[in-house]
């Protein structure tokens, strides 16, 4: 499938079917040099990617700063930006590592999903990105998986009590064109959608070749509301890219034997259909009817190109059947 523009929910906004996920250039897990950052972003741009996603969480502002610096050389009306709210950054100590990101910017962080917190987070992101507007604004990591039940409930109340109105106000003002959630769990999406309408959800790891939790209830709800999905984490922390080798990671931790066995079966089916496991994983996400874009997140040109090569395969017969059923 070639690069195409797809609509975002019921909005007038469209995004490229492949997008660049900028967590890696926030030094996720390893340091990415300034030159490597420029190289991978330039490669994405040359390939036709025009949707870039980031967040304050990624290197405590480092990803946003780097992405903003690169995109400052491009016409503002030629690309789509998304970032996230829920974490507010403020000056803090220099650290070697924070939240899995190496050499982050010297910022501290607090969670705040209230209207005031969302506005403070948004304005900080705009400053780091060098822009006054962001096309898509996601509420980041709201839910019990990140916060636990007690804190999760408090943050949810803040979001539904005042925070969501701030999102709608930003959309009405034109500084944001689409609003949604950026999460790696499905239940909180359903909880929010019981009270509010979402334009788009960035769903990480819950609609993949391996993990199809979103199929249980969320896809039907999205169809009812006209909500699009941006699919992230399509390799489930790596195992769908590396295969079921010893030490492979699933969902941010070493994979269990049960997961390894499931991936072995998927890999065999992929190979029997003429695809590698990674190619099948990319195609599954890209061909899913609910997806408006598929995030490719890496700090390496070679990895980005490999995933883009997988995305442009023309499938038919057993291969197409495997990734669409």
- For residue 213 the two structure tokens come to 């939790």
- Determine contact, residues 299/41, Cβ cutoff 8 Å: no
* Distance separating the N- and C-terminal Cα atoms of the chain: 17
Instruction: Show Cβ contacts of residue 208 under 8 Å, excluding neighbours closer than 6 positions.
Output: 231, 233, 234, 235, 236, 240, 281, 284, 285
In terms of Cβ atoms closer than 10 Å to its own Cβ (0-12, 13-18, 19+), residue 229 is buried
- List the catalytic residue out of 2, 51, 77, 84: 84
Partners of 98 in the β-ladder: 101
d(Cα 210, Cα 233) in Å, to the nearest integer? 11
d(Cα 192, Cα 181) in Å, to the nearest integer? 9
- List the catalytic residue out of 2, 12, 39, 53: 53
In 25-178, which residue ranges form alpha helices assigned H by DSSP? 34-46, 62-71, 115-129, 144-158, 164-173
Q: Indicate if 84 belongs to the active site.
A: yes
- List the catalytic residue out of 2, 12, 51, 58: 58
d(Cα 119, Cα 167) in Å, to the nearest integer? 9
Q: Indicate if 169 belongs to the active site.
A: no
Residue 111: name the closest of 153, 82, 169 by CA.
Answer: 153
**Other CB atoms within 10 Å distance of the CB of residue 175:** 17
Q: Indicate if 111 belongs to the active site.
A: no
Cα–Cα separations (whole angstroms), residue 257 to 213, 233, 243, 249, 303? 20, 20, 13, 11, 27
Residue 116: name the closest of 141, 91, 137, 85 by CA.
Answer: 85
d(Cα 86, Cα 146) in Å, to the nearest integer? 12
Q: Indicate which residues carry an active-site annotation.
A: 53, 58, 84
């Amino acid at each position: 499938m070639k690069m195409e523009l797809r609509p975002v929910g019921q909005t007038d906004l469209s995004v490229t079917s492949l997008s660049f996920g900028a967590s890696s250039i926030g030094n996720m897990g390893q340091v990415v040099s300034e030159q490597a950052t420029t190289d991978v972003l330039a490669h994405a741009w040359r390939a036709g990617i025009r949707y870039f996603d980031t967040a304050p969480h990624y290197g405590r502002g480092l990803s946003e700063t780097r992405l903003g610096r690169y995109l400052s050389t491009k016409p503002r009306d030629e690309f789509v930006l998304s970032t996230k709210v829920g974490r507010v950054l403020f000056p803090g100590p220099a650290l070697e590592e924070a939240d899995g990101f190496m050499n982050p910017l010297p910022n501290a962080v607090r969670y705040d999903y209230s209207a005031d917190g969302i506005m403070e987070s948004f304005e900080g992101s705009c400053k780091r990105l060098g822009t006054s507007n962001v096309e898509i604004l996601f509420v980041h990591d709201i839910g019990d998986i990140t916060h636990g039940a007690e804190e999760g409930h408090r943050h949810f109340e803040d979001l539904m009590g005042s925070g969501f109105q701030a999102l709608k106000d930003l959309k009405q003002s034109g500084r944001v064109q689409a609003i949604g959630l950026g999460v790696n769990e499905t239940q909180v999406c359903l909880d929010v959608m019981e009270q509010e309408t979402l334009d788009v959800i960035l769903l990480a790891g819950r609609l993949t070749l391996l993990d199809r939790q979103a199929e249980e209830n969320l896809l039907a709800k999205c169809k009812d509301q006209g909500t699009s999905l941006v699919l992230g984490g399509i390799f489930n922390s790596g195992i769908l890219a590396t295969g079921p080798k010893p030490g492979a990671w699933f969902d941010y931790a070493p994979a269990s034997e049960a997961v390894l066995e499931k991936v072995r079966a998927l890999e065999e089916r992929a190979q029997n259909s003429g695809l590698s496991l990674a190619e099948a994983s990319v195609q599954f996400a890209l061909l899913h009817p609910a997806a408006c874009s598929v995030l490719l997140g890496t700090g390496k040109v070679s990895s980005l190109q490999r995933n883009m090569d997988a995305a442009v395969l023309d499938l038919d017969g057993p291969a197409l059947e495997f990734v669409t059923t």
